[in-house]
Amino acid sequence: MHAIARCCFMLAAFSIGSVLPVLGSDTVPGKVSNLKTTGVTSSAFGLSWTAPTSSIPFTSYVIFIIKEGKCAQASFLRCSQNSTTHANANCPYQIFAGVYDTCHGVMSYNITAKLTSYTDYVVAVAAAYETTAGENSTITVKTQIGIPAPPTNIRLTAQNQSAILVEWDIPLHNAGPTWYNVTVLGATNRMSSIFIAQREYKVEGWKSSSYEVTDLLSSWRYMVSITASTNVGTSDRTTSQYVSTLPSAPGVVKNIHMKFVPNQYLAARLSWECPTEKIRNGRITSFTIIYTGNVSMTMTAGSYYPEDPCTAPHTAYLPVIPDGQYTVKVWANAEFQGNKSTMIFVADRNKMSYTPSISNTTVSTADSNSLIVASATCGSTIAILSVVVIALVLTRPRGVLPEKQLYGSLG
């Protein structure tokens, strides 16, 4: 067979074309034997083979490393200073491996450059005389599992009030059977920029690129960090920007209670506290108070921008008629209307106190010194109080008890 045709035939199996230009020599070296791999790692492996035993001389060895059907590396071993290397080989990465004093018997060579982990390679080794290569021996080797590169470009999307979709770009190279460690970091407070790890999920598969995190707090800030792992090791960590879950209806206000203003029979003080931070579920901008009885009224307490800091109890003053029974409801307003806290207040002038019957809240008898004045104007409040006083004057008999005369004097 002509030397050019023979070289082309040798390399065609690896889809790299006519790699070795042949100058017309009819001296074709014999085939190497016992080609083996040794010391395979994630980034290198060794080769050993036995030199051709034919009487045809040879002056060098040529070693090709084939990855995904393309030449990835070519190495040339000289057997003497005077031999000609295949410097014009059509391979993008070429190595002159040095001069060997002898090229007979058992040979060895280590492949260490530009190898990737968990990758199939085809290795071809042939003896050559000047520019004519003999028949190649081939072997397939797979490098071992390596440590993966980290995922990149983490993206978070709030799905609803309690779920976030996490997406990321997978590493370009498959380093082996891979899983991702998705760590959820929650803000220490609802609007805090300090985050702590709360939980971790394991997502199997190198090609996995998304995961939905559920059971989160509403209107709360979260970040996600991700690493890629194999049984060899773990990549560096990649961390996202934060995103907030969607808002929902605030939880109930707490510690709601109501009592008479000292020395007054026509006003009662209602106090309450914000919902617990983890159930505010949004930006609280105001509170609504509805109370019904002898006097009925709807009031809006507070006007907060951007939101109520909820650092102190809130107080509103309500006009009442003694001896009346009132149902009082209070709720927080955010992006959505909150859940109602309800209590029953009996305006007992003799006890000067209250008898509450409350749902969805806890009663506290502690007085509050922090005043949040209701948005009802002073004039409208006076008008309501005047109506109450007039109603009392018109409906009470002339023979009133001393304490009842107080209402007449206010008119």
| Predicted confidence (pLDDT) per residue in 307-325, tens digit | 999 999 999 988 888 778 8
Every domain of the chain with CATH number 2.60.40.10 lies at: 3-142, 152-244, 254-410
Q: What is the 3-state secondary structure (H, E, C) of the chain?
A: CCHHHHHHHHHHCCCCCCCCCCCCCCCCCCCCEEEEEECCCCCCEEEEEECCCCCCCCCEEEEEEEECCEEEEEEEEECCCCCCCCCCCCCCCEEEEEECCCCCCEEEEEECCCCCCCCEEEEEEEEEECCEECCCEEEEEECCCCCCCCCEEEEEEECCCCCEEEEEECCCCCCCCCEEEEEEEEECCCCCCCEEEEEEEEEECCCCCEEEECCCCCCCEEEEEEEEECCCCECCCEECCCEECCCCCCCCCEEEEEEECCCCCCEEEEEEECCCHHHCCCCCCEEEEEEECCCCEEEEECCCCCCCCCCCCEEEEEECCCCCEEEEEEEEECCCECCCEEEEEECECCCCECCCCCECCCCCCCCCCCCCCECCCHHHHHHHHHHHHHHHHHHCCCCCCHHHHHHHHHC
Whether the per-residue pLDDT at 157 is higher than 60: the answer is: yes
pLDDT tens-digit map of 84-133: 333 334 455 555 665 555 688 899 999 987 899 999 999 999 998 877 88
Whether the per-residue pLDDT at 275 is higher than 70: the answer is: yes
Residue 37: CB atoms within 10 Å: 16
C-alpha angle 250/253/254, rounded to 5°? 140
Instruction: Specify the range with the lowest mean pLDDT, choosing from 92-106, 185-199, 203-217, 374-388.
Output: 374-388
pLDDT tens-digit map of 281-317: 999 999 999 989 888 889 999 899 989 999 999 999 8
C-alpha angle 71/76/77, rounded to 5°? 150
pLDDT for residue 139? 96
Q: How far apart are CA 44 and CA 65, in angstroms?
A: 12
Whether the per-residue pLDDT at 7 is higher than 90: the answer is: no
CA 151 to chain centre: 12
Report yes or no: 331 and 338 within 8 Å, Cβ to Cβ. Answer: yes
pLDDT tens-digit map of 40-82: 999 999 999 999 988 888 888 999 999 999 988 888 888 764 4
Report yes or no: 265 and 316 within 8 Å, Cβ to Cβ. Answer: no
pLDDT tens-digit map of 209-254: 999 999 999 999 999 999 999 999 999 999 999 999 999 999 999 9
Under CATH, to which class is 254-410 assigned?
Answer: mainly beta
pLDDT for residue 258? 87
**What is the Cα Rg of the chain in Å?**
43
Q: How far apart are CA 178 and CA 180, in angstroms?
A: 7
Do you know the residue count of the chain? 411
Listed in sequence order, the residues at least 6 apart from 98 whose beta carbon sits closer than 8 Å to its beta carbon are: 77, 78
pLDDT tens-digit map of 19-50: 333 334 457 899 999 999 999 999 999 999 99
Listed in sequence order, the residues at least 6 apart from 285 whose beta carbon sits closer than 8 Å to its beta carbon are: 302, 303, 304, 305, 307, 308, 333, 334
Listed in sequence order, the residues at least 6 apart from 87 whose beta carbon sits closer than 8 Å to its beta carbon are: 76, 94
Listed in sequence order, the residues at least 6 apart from 221 whose beta carbon sits closer than 8 Å to its beta carbon are: 186, 187, 190, 191, 192, 193, 195, 242, 243, 244
**Where does the pLDDT of residue 356 fall: very low under 50, low under 70, confident under 90, or very high at 90 and above?**
very low
Structure-token pair, residue 162: 């309690």
Structure-token pair, residue 323: 């001896």
HSE, side-chain direction, 13 A CA sphere, residue 306? 3
pLDDT for residue 77? 87
Higher confidence at residue 391 or residue 329?
329
CATH topology of domain 152-244: Immunoglobulin-like (2.60.40)
CA 331 to chain centre: 33
Superfamily (CATH) of domain 3-142: Immunoglobulins (2.60.40.10)
pLDDT for residue 410? 24
What are the CA-CA distances from residue 289 to residues 108, 262, 340, 342, 354 (Å)? Answer: 88, 22, 9, 10, 18
pLDDT for residue 91? 55
Which residue in this structure is represented by tokens 């707490």? 254
Report yes or no: 218 and 247 within 8 Å, Cβ to Cβ. Answer: yes
Beta strand 286-292 with 325-333 is antiparallel
